[in-house]
Structure 1
Amino acid sequence: MFDKTAGSYVAELLREWKVNHIYGMPGDSINEMMEELRKEESIRFIQVRHEETGALAAAAYSKLTGKIGVCLSIAGPGAVHLLNGLYDAQKDKTPVLAIVGQVNSQLVGTDTFQEIKMESLFEEVAVYNRHVQRAEQLPDMLNQAIRTAYAEKGPAVLIVSGDLFSTKIKHEKPLTSAIFSRPNIRASEEDLQDALKLLNDAKKPVILAGKGAKGGTAEVLALAEKLKAPLIASFPAKGIIPDDHPHNLGQLGKLGTDPAEQAMQETDLLILAGTAFPYRAYLPADVAAIQIDTDPKVIGKYYPVLLGLVGELAPTATWLTAKLTEKEDAFLLTYQQKREQWHDTLQQDMNTETHQLQPQQVIAEVQRILQEDAIVSLDVGSITLWAARYLQLNNQQLVVSAWLGTMGCGLPGAIAGKLAYPDKQVVALLGDGGFSMGMQDFVTAVKYDLPMILVVFNNQKLQLIEHEQQEMGNKSTQVDLANIDFAAFAHACGGEGYTAKNRDELRQALIKAKVSRKPVIIDVFVEDSTPPS
Structure 2
Amino acid sequence: MATDRMTVADYVAGELAAWDVPYVFGVPGDSVIPLLEALRQKQRPRFIPTRHEGAAALMASAYAKLSGRAAACVSDAGPGAIQMLNGVYDAALDRVPLLALTGGLPTRKVATHWPQDANLDLVYTDATVFNHTLTAAPQVTRILPAALRAAHERPGPARVGLPVDLQREEVAGAKTTGKPDYLTRQPAPDARDLDAALHLLRTAARPVILAGRGARPARQAVLALAEQLDAPVLCTLPGLGAVPGEHAHYCGVIGEAGTQAAADVLGAADVALVVGSTWWQPAFVPRGLKVIQVDSRRAHLGMTFPVEVALPGTAEAVLGALRDGLRAQERPGWRAFWVRARAGWHEELRRADAAAEGHGEGVHPAALMTTLAGVLDPEAVICVDTGQHTYWFGRYFFPDRHTVLVSGHWRTVGFALPAAIGAALAAPRRPVVALAGDGGLGMTLTEFTTAVREKLPITVIVCNDGRYAEEEELQARARVQPFGTRFVNPDFAAFAETAGGRGIRVERVRELEPTLERALRVDGPVLVDVRVAPVIYERPKPVAARDPWAARTETEAREAATGTASDEIGRDGDPHHEGDGAGASAAAGREPIARRLWGRGRQRERAPEKV
Common topology (TM > 0.5): yes
Distance 1:300 1:281 in 2: 18
- 1:514 alignment partner in structure 2: 520
1:495 aligns with: 501
Match of 1:371 in 2: 377
Contact in 1 for aligned 2:96/2:157 (Cα 8 Å): yes
Output the amino acid matched with 1:248.
Answer: Y
For 1:409-428, list aligned pairs within 5 A. 409-428=415-434
**2:485 corresponding residue in structure 1:** 479
The Cα RMSD (Å) is 1.9
Q: Which moved more, 1:235-244 or 1:431-440?
A: 235-244
Gaps of 5+ in 1: none
Which of the two has higher C-alpha Rg?
2
For residue 354 of structure 1, the aligned residue among 351, 356, 359 is 359
C-alpha distance 248-21 of structure 1, shift in aligned 2 (>3 A): same
**1:224 is aligned to 2:230:** no
For 1:314, the equivalent position in structure 2 comes to: 316
Q: Could you give the per-residue CA deviations for residues 299-350 of structure 1, whole angstroms, max 9, x where no partner exists?
A: 4455443333344432221111111021004223442343134223213213
CA distance in structure 2 between the aligned counterparts of 1:251 and 1:507, rounded to whole angstroms: 24
Matched AA of 1:344: E
Q: Give the Cα–Cα distance (whole angstroms) in 1 for the partners of residues 494 and 280 of structure 2.
A: 42
Q: How does 1:266-277 map onto structure 2 within 5 Å?
A: 266-277=268-279
Q: Is the 8 A contact 1:97 1:157 kept in 2?
A: yes
Cα deviation, residue 370, structure 1: 0.7
Letter in 2 for 1:339: R
- Shift in alpha-carbon separation, 1:321–1:500, aligned structure 2, 3 A: same
Query: Given residue 349 of structure 2, which amino acid in structure 1 is its aligned partner?
Result: L
- Displacement of 1:244 after TM fit? 2.7
Matched with 2:195 is 193
Aligned mates of 1:38, 1:345 — CA distance in 2 = 54
Instruction: Note if contact 2:4-2:174 (Cα within 8 Å) is conserved in structure 1.
Output: no
Separation in structure 2 between the aligned mates of residue 369 and residue 348 of structure 1, nearest angstrom: 19
Preserved contact between residue 154 and residue 299 of structure 2 (Cα < 8 Å): no
Name stretches of at least 5 consecutive residues in structure 2 with no aligned partner.
540-611
TM-score (norm 2): 0.84
Q: Specify the alignment match of 1:31 in structure 2.
A: 33
CA offsets 1:343-401 (integer angstroms, 9 cap, x no match) = 23213213321112111122233223211211111111001001001112221111110
**1:317 alignment partner, SS class:** helix
The 1:303–1:41 alpha-carbon spacing in structure 2 relative to 1, beyond 3 Å, is closer
Contact 1:280 1:302 in 2 (8 A): no
Q: Distance in 2 between matches of 1:284 and 1:374?
A: 34
Q: Distance in 2 between matches of 1:19 and 1:194?
A: 40
Match of residue 236, structure 1, among 235, 238, 241: 238
- Is the CA contact (8 Å cut-off) linking 1:21 and 1:46 kept in structure 2? yes
Alignment counterpart, residue 213 of structure 1, candidates 212, 215, 224: 215
* Amino acid across the alignment from 2:341: K
The answer to whether the 8 Å contact 1:499/1:505 transfers is no
SS at match of 1:290: strand
Contact 1:150 1:180 in 2 (8 A): no
CA distance in 1, matches of 2:380, 2:299: 34
Q: 1:139 to 1:244 in 2, by over 3 A?
A: farther
1:271–1:289 Cα contact (<8 Å) kept: yes
Q: Tell me the CA shift for residue 101 of structure 1.
A: 0.5
Query: Secondary structure in 2 aligned to 1:321?
Result: helix
Measure the CA separation in 2 of the matches of 1:7 and 1:171: 14
* Structure 2 equivalent of residue 332 of structure 1: 335
Letter in 2 for 1:332: R
Corresponding position of 2:261? 259
**Per-residue deviation at 1:252?**
1.5
Matched-pair contact (CA < 8 Å) for 2:292–2:309: yes
How many angstroms does 1:289 deviate by?
A: 2.9
How far apart, in 2, do the equivalents of 1:368 and 1:226 lie?
A: 30
How far residue 40 of structure 1 moved from its aligned partner, in angstroms, is: 1.6
2:116 and 2:291 map into 1 onto residues whose CA distance is 52
Deviation at 1:173, TM superposition (A): 6.5
Partner of 2:238, secondary structure, is helix
Residue 179 (structure 1) aligns with: 180
Change (3 A) 1:517 1:151: same
Partner of 2:21: 19
Q: Are 2:347 and 1:344 aligned? A: yes
Correspondent of 2:459 among 425, 439, 453: 453
Asked if structure 2 preserves the Cα contact closer than 8 Å seen for 1:102 and 1:160, the reply is: yes
Q: Say which is worse superposed, 23-32 or 510-519, in terms of deviation.
A: 510-519
Q: Is the 8 A contact 1:385 1:532 kept in 2?
A: no
Q: Give the deviation of 1:108 after TM superposition.
A: 2.1
Secondary structure of 2:278's aligned partner? coil
**What is the CA deviation profile of residues 158-191 of structure 1, one whole-angstrom value per residue up to 9, with x for unaligned ones?**
00101222212212577x5432523421111111
| 2:141/2:175 contact within 8 Å kept | no
Which deviations, in whole Å up to 9, do the C-alpha atoms of 1:388-438 show, x marking residues without a partner?
A: 011122211111101111110000111111111122211111100010011
Count of aligned pairs: 532
Task: Give the % identical residues.
Answer: 33
Query: For the Cα contact (< 8 Å) 2:19–2:178, is it kept in 1?
Result: no
In 2: Cα distance, 1:338 partner to 1:8 partner: 60
Equivalent residue, structure 1, for 2:290: 288
